[in-house]
Amino acid sequence: MRATVTSKGQVTIPREIRERAHIATGTQLDFQITSDGCLTIRPLTHDICKLKGIAKKKGQHPVSLKAIKKAIEEGFEGSME
């Protein structure tokens, strides 16, 4: 499938792609360029399971709301220490 970039840098994602990728109005997308120059676009999801273990434990410092939001935006994949 193809799409054209407008003068404002906007692209309309074809309906079939939006439906298959569950992209709705307001969905945030993550853009990455791979080492071989390919562009990948994926919808950001807020998988609560990825946040397991970030709550304060005995002897740990609390995690700030700012750090939690950043982890969600970046697709949390590890420790927030």
- Within-domain flag for 3: yes
What pLDDT, on the 0 to 100 scale, is given for residue 72? 83
- 34: tokens are 């791979």
Number of domains in the chain: 1
What is the distance between the alpha carbons of residues 45 and 60, in angstroms, rounded to a whole number?
27
DSSP 62: P
- Within-domain flag for 30: yes
DSSP 37: S
- 30: tokens are 């993550």
- Within-domain flag for 64: no
Beta bridge partners of 48: none
What pLDDT, on the 0 to 100 scale, is given for residue 31? 93
pLDDT in tens, 36-75: 999 999 988 766 666 666 665 666 677 788 888 888 888 7
- Token pair 């840098």 in the structure block, residue: 9
**Which CATH number characterizes residue 29's domain?**
2.10.260.10
- Within-domain flag for 72: no
Average pLDDT (10-25) is 93
- Within-domain flag for 79: no
Does 79 have pLDDT greater than 60? no
- Within-domain flag for 57: no
- Domain holding 14, by residue range, is 1-48
- Within-domain flag for 74: no
